[in-house]
Each structure stands twice: as structure tokens, then as C-alpha cells.
Amino acid sequence: MSLKTPITVAYGDGIGPEIMTATLKILTAANAPIEPEIIEVGEKLYLQGFSSGIPDSAWESLKRTKILLKGPITTPQGGGYKSLNVTLRKTLGLFANVRPCTSYAPYIKTHHPDMDLVIIRENEEGTYAGIEHQQTDEVYQCLKLVTRPGCERVIHYAFEYARKFNRKKVTCLTKDNIMKMSDGIFHQVFNEIALDYPEIQTEHFIIDIGTALVAAEPERFDVIVTSNLYGDILSDVAAQIAGSVGMAGSANVGNHVAMFEAIHGSAPTIAGKKIANPSGLLNASIQMLIHINQPETATLIENAWLRTLEDGIHTADIYSEKYSKQKANTDEFADAVIARLGQKPSHFKAVDYKQDVRAKIECYGERKKSVVKKELVGVDIFIDNPQLSPEELGAKLEKINETLQLIVITSRGLKVWPNCMIDAPYTRHCSCRFQATKDIKNLKSISHQDIIALLQQFDALGLDVIKTENLYTFDGKLGFSLAQGQ
Ligand code: NAD
């Protein structure tokens, strides 16, 4: 019986084949106990008509091996192509994206010599669900969906990761001063889960100042957990200020499958020149070896790689007259790492991954199953309104229905009726809020039939309804935001 772990390997697009060849060469030289199964995904497959860039045979390999080492992918612009990365993350349930960003001063130029942080990014939800609609000829919508189990999975993962890898602090970054519900639930779950990890220090920042602090004082951070879009932006910032976006690897982790890749893209402008830095993908493969419980090989490769950096053998992206001794191309860099297998760094602390430090952490997000009383108390009806002023619209809708009263009309979240406070309100896209009572503290239940009757009245008035959003309370608490000015 083979003791090798089967892994699925995709070379990817752009610089992908160059950096994957270099990475596999190092893995082979280190006798990594893996058995690669090569699949084709990405640009070529998109152009053959696979809208997500992946054929059935590749899914079969992934189902078998449950491990993917992947080069970067070019998503063709336009034409309805879906991002392969997002498809893989969502289909395979890869809920946590783990991105360590470390500086390697004084060998790699950086303003932040003591930087050593790990960004754990939610990987399946938020705006990256990619649910978008054009609602009028000039209004576009991207839906941000955040679920409690989604928050629980990734935040639980971040704390478990901190515990396993002996990290001392977990920082949560959200924008819950503005998005009180969708970012608010992320922050709330963070506070709840933190209680189970009393030995780990916790803090929370609003994402804007949090990002500024990462850029200015990254050494103050340890593990950061944040949502999908914020984490995507922040991890590129962090990798770049550590030295180069070409250095950082990432693990996309689920309970059953994991995918390992560099954080950077396919870098089309340098593709084929053999100058790309393979370190990001190599670091991802080190994360993979830890994940499949091959800590000795991970240790062997990482120490050889650190030694190569110390010896001043650098690819063009990290080369500097002051710190480097040799400008290596992709293959030369890989050969330099191979030549140092078995050696340890002398300046950097040598790594020594232990058998019990497995990155595989299962998190299911099933903490809270409390029964809530959900009550329908109103509806927001969004219309495409090319003609009517707020006053005209308000006058038309004020007495439209006996059960439901018009409470407020808003445009992009701002109240435009009653008592519009701005000179030239944008009213092309309006939301008309109806409730059975104006008293927000004493809302009354309504029925779906009430809403259907109201919609029929909108139709009779010739108003173009583009969508409705039901207003609920949960155990008496408002499940919707109030309009600015309401
Ligand atoms: P990019 O990360 O490919 O490149 C940004 C900059 O970093 C470029 O100057 C590039 O030359 C440089 N760079 C990146 N990796 C490098 C490396 N290993 N060595 C040396 N220099 C490196 O970002 P982009 O240009 O915005 O995107 C290019 C394509 O990659 C797009 O099609 C995008 O959709 C795709 N992309 C894919 C992934 C992925 O597969 N996970 C991630 C991000 C972007």
C-alpha cells in the first residue's frame, strides 16, 4: 500500500505553470510523501465553454483527494464567466482563508522588521456571494449576505488556530458602526466565542482604522479575523508591506477539503519570463504538508527556504542592491532551495513543526439554536421611479391601503418623504416602507396576503416594483435598519 498522500494539482494560468513547476521540483527533492494528480482548470477551460473554468473530471479528482494545490487563475473579463476561485471555495465549503504574512528583515526590504501576523478571512459569504442585480437603467445592487453559522465557523477556526499555533491575540475587524446587522453579527459572534478562550487576548477595531494600523504598525497584530472583502484587501496590503505579494501563501480550509495557493494572481505581465517568485506557492505547499500531517517535510523545506533568503538569493520582486547577493530566476531560486535542504537558517529562528500541530481544524458553526419568535411587521417596496417627486409619490401612496400605512420613502437609505431635507433628492430608486402602525415600539403583525394586496395596488397605479424586502422582528427586536432621518 502506498504511504503517499494523493493530492490534486492545478498549474493555473499566467505565471502559474512556472511557479508550480518550481514548487513541485522542491517537493520532489524533499521526498514529500505526496502523489500529485494533475487537473486542468482555468483560462483554457473557460474558453472551451466551462463557465466556471472547471470540468467534471477535475471535480472527481478533488472529491477523491480532498486536497488541492493550485496555481493562480486568470478569470476572463465579461462574458458571464464565474470566478473559479470563488466557485471552488463555495462548492467545497472552504470557509476559512488563512494567510500568514511575515517579514524577513534584514534580508528582504521592509519597513516592518517584526511583522508576523496571520489573517483569517471568511471565505464563502459577504459580497463575494456574487449576487448582483441591475435594478434600473442606472442602479446596480450587490447583495451582502452574512450568516450566523458562517461567522461562527470562521471565528471559531481563528481561535482554534491561535490556540494550536501558540498565538496570543485575536483581533476582529468589522464595519459594525455602519453595517450594524451584517457586520454586527460578526462582532457579536466574536465576543461570544472569545469567552471560550480566556487565555487568548482579544480586541476589535473598525476596519478602516484597523487597516491603517496594519499598514503602520503590523507588529502589534497576531491573528486577525475578518470578513471576505475586508480580508482580501487587507491580506494584499499585509503581504506587500511584509516584502512582496509574491511571498505569501494561503490555505483555504473546510471541514472536508482544503485548497492551497499563493495569495497573488496570475501576474500576466511577467508570465513566461521565468522571473516570478515561487515563494507564495511554496509557502502554500508548506501549509499543505502541515495539513496532511507531514510536519517533517514542511520543516525541511521551510528551513531551506529561509536559508536561501538569508543567503541573499532573491527573485526580481524582492531583489535589492543592499540586501541581495544574487538575482535568481524562478528555476534558479528553486535549485537554491533544493541545494539547502537539510540546512537551517542562522539568522532566522529555524522552524520545527511537530507531529501534533495539524492545521486541520473542524468547525461547524452550530453554537446557538435558540428558538426565536419571528414576526412579519411590514414591507419595503422598491420601485423604479423615473417621474414622480417625493411629494407626488407620497401623496399617491399615503392612502393606498387600509391595513398598511406608508411610513417613509427613502432613496439609497436616506429619507426623502415626509419632509425631505435635501434640495435635489435622487428619487429614481425609491424604497417605500409600509407598516400596520407608525409606532416602532409597538409594531403589529401583518400577513403575506396584506403585502400581496398592496403590491396589486402598486401595479394598478402603474408603479414599477423592482423588489420587496419583508420587515421582521425577532423576539420583539427590529430585524431591519431605520432610514437616515427617519
Ligand atoms: P497579481 O497578483 O497577479 O499581480 C499584482 C502585481 O504583483 C503585479 O505587478 C505582478 O507582476 C506582481 N506579482 C504577483 N505575483 C508575483 C510573483 N509570484 N512574483 C513576482 N511578482 C509577482 O494581480 P492582478 O494583476 O490584479 O491580477 C492578475 C490576474 O490574476 C487577474 O485575472 C485576476 O483575476 C487573477 N487573480 C487570481 C487569483 C487566484 O487565482 N487566487 C488571485 C488574485 C488575482
**pLDDT for res 16:** 97
Q: Is the CB of 151 under 6 A from ligand 1?
A: no
pLDDT in tens, 220-273: 999 999 999 999 999 989 999 998 888 999 999 999 999 999 999 999 999 999
Q: How many Å apart are CA 303 and CA 282, to the nearest integer?
A: 12
Q: Measure 265 CA to ligand 1 centroid, in angstroms.
A: 3
CA distances, 325 to each of 283, 314, 315, 320 (Å): 22, 8, 11, 9
Q: Is the CB of 387 under 6 A from ligand 1?
A: no
**pLDDT for res 128:** 86
Nearest residue (CA) to ligand 1, atom 4: 267
Q: Measure 11 CA to ligand 1 centroid, in angstroms.
A: 14
**pLDDT for res 434:** 97
- Which residue from 232, 236, 245, 330 has its CB within 8 A of the most atoms of ligand 1, so it is best to mutate? 245
| Percentage with pLDDT > 70 across the chain | 97
Q: Measure 74 CA to ligand 1 centroid, in angstroms.
A: 9
**pLDDT for res 357:** 58
Asked whether the CA dihedral 156, 252, 47, 61 is positive or negative, the reply is negative
pLDDT in tens, 322-377: 889 999 999 999 999 999 999 999 999 999 987 655 556 788 877 766 768 999 99
- Looking at the CA of residue 281, tell me the nearest atom of ligand 1: 18
pLDDT in tens, 10-46: 999 999 999 999 999 999 999 999 999 999 999 888 8
Q: Is the CB of 314 under 6 A from ligand 1?
A: no
Q: Which fold has domain 374-478?
A: Alpha-Beta Plaits (3.30.70)
Q: Is the CB of 72 under 6 A from ligand 1?
A: yes
CB atoms closer than 10 angstroms to residue 340: 21
- Better-predicted residue by pLDDT, 358 or 399: 399
Q: Measure 244 CA to ligand 1 centroid, in angstroms.
A: 11
- Which residue from 44, 73, 264 has its CB within 8 A of the most atoms of ligand 1, so it is best to mutate? 264
- Looking at the CA of residue 72, tell me the nearest atom of ligand 1: 40
Q: How many Å apart are CA 155 and CA 391, to the nearest integer?
A: 47
pLDDT of residue 181 exceeding 60, the answer is: yes
pLDDT of residue 50 exceeding 90, the answer is: no
Backbone region of residue 387 per phi and psi (left: phi > 0; alpha: psi in -120 to 50; beta: other values)? alpha
Residue spans in the chain of domains classed CATH 3.30.70.1570: 374-478
Residue spans in the chain of domains classed CATH 3.40.718.10: 5-355
Q: Measure 320 CA to ligand 1 centroid, in angstroms.
A: 21
pLDDT of residue 2 exceeding 90, the answer is: no
126 within 8 A of 228, measured Cβ to Cβ: yes
Residue 485's pLDDT band (cuts 50, 70, 90): low
- Looking at the CA of residue 73, tell me the nearest atom of ligand 1: 40
Number of C-alpha atoms within 13 angstroms, CB side, residue 207? 22
pLDDT (mean) for 456-469: 97
Mean pLDDT of the chain: 93
Nearest residue (CA) to ligand 1, atom 1: 265
| Percentage with pLDDT > 90 across the chain | 80
- Cell numbers at residue 106, please? 534584514
pLDDT of residue 1 exceeding 50, the answer is: no
pLDDT in tens, 106-122: 999 899 999 999 999 99
The position carrying cell 400581496 is 452
pLDDT (mean) for 194-218: 97
pLDDT of residue 97 exceeding 70, the answer is: yes
Say how far residue 429 (Cα) sits from the centre of its chain. Answer: 30
Burial zone of 419 (CB within 10 Å; 0-12 exposed, 13-18 middle, 19+ buried) = exposed
Q: Is the CB of 97 under 6 A from ligand 1?
A: no
Q: Measure 154 CA to ligand 1 centroid, in angstroms.
A: 25
Asked whether the whole model's pTM tops 0.85, one would answer: yes
| CATH architecture designation of domain 5-355 | 3-Layer(aba) Sandwich (3.40)
Q: Is the CB of 252 under 6 A from ligand 1?
A: no
**pLDDT for res 229:** 96
